[in-house]
Amino acid sequence: MKKPNIVILGAGYGGIMTAVKLQKSLGVNEANIKLVNKHSYHYQTTWLHENAAGTLHHDRTRIQIKDVIDTSKIDFIQDTVLSIQPDEKKVTLENTTLDYDYLVIGLGFEAETFGIPGLKEHAYGISNINSSRLIRQHIEYNFAKYNNIKDPGEELLNIVVGGAGFTGIEFVGELANRVPELCKEYDIPREKVRIINVEAAPTALPGFDPALVEYAMNSLESRGVEFKIGAMIKEVTPKGLVYEKDEERVEIPSNTVVWAAGVRGNSIVEESGFEAMRGRVKVREDMRTPDYDDVFVVGDCALIINEETDRPYPPTAQMAIQQADTVAHNVKVLARGEKELEPFEPNIQGTVASLGHDDAIGVVFNGKKLFGWSASVMKKVIDNRYLLKLGGIGLLLKKGKFNIFH
């Protein structure tokens, strides 16, 4: 009997966890498994805001795939996915073409610009290791430049963050910690630097508990973050950001605009003919696409509706890791020629948003609210638990966050 070919596209949270599960549950004689990823590493997307602010070195965020994948069981291919041909059961990569019997799509997210003029051209995004490094270097360059030019404009030291959702709030929290250090390093008075967070919704952290949102805003404002809430971003120009509030147009001069306000699934998913909304496939309960029995979707490209709220679950790392359990189980079942697929049932164990080194807010364990230091410790526990699950004690010791005071 021919061994089935299993191809996993993308080594984000969903893709790499599916691979790790399959290497434990399927024998080498049962299937040929290939994992395709553009880079030689997996990275912690939930730590990128720290890399962008310069509070955590990007090497801490990267995990080499060969450190968690057993290459005697899984063939790792470092290549870029160009397209998927589901009717022919083929995947076209930059350097080769793969055939599959079962495909797992975990291609991650892209920024959603909502058609705002100038956003793509003039704003920075926290989307991967390299884009985060660019933000850090760009901010440091502006600080270094400030005392070396005759008439530095305020745009050099105005850092504008579009979006006060999860990523935006976590990023301004890190900036609030980093800016005083940069001021000291580059001889700049702290009051010269502005961190401005612009959000179109009537509140920061939409959907979060109001008491926690209030705590977060107070904490950030006390460290110098300015909020523009209910402010619709109209345009990003080479000189700054334009927003509209109460029918008034306001321009903030800045050459550092960071967009943190929207993601969509990978455009390859739509271009390959899958039924998708903004790059996300509304999967069946067993995580397969509506129209193909041999294609699973995991992570940012999977759309799952929460029946209680009738809205999609946010595509978080927690969701992707849980989906990987179901996808790996179901792929194993099909590869063995069995029939019993299990449905995916999300078990949201809470959400914690970091506000800098030792401050955070969160809702955990059936609605228990956490503020401040205790929430910050919980955030580190969650991060460390993932590392343990992914690569065992060795990876945890190498990459974990142990200093709960920092």
Catalogue the active-site residues: 170
Helices (H), 26-90: 48-53, 58-61
CA distances from 357 to 53, 193, 252, 369 (A): 12, 20, 28, 19
DSSP structure class, residue 46: G
How far is it, in rounded angstroms, from Cα 188 to Cα 348?
A: 44
CA distances from 52 to 39, 128, 131, 191 (A): 19, 10, 8, 22
How far is it, in rounded angstroms, from Cα 53 to Cα 287?
A: 35
- Which residue's structure tokens are 């343990």? 388
- Which residue's structure tokens are 């291919």? 77
Of the CA atoms within 13 Å of residue 230, those in its CB half-sphere come to: 5
Q: Which two tokens stand for residue 139?
A: 């901010």
Task: Produce one character per residue of 59-95: b if its CB has 16 or more CB atoms within 10 Å, e if not.
Answer: ebbbbebeebbeeeebebeeeebeebebeebebbbee
Distance, C-alpha 31 to centroid of its chain = 31
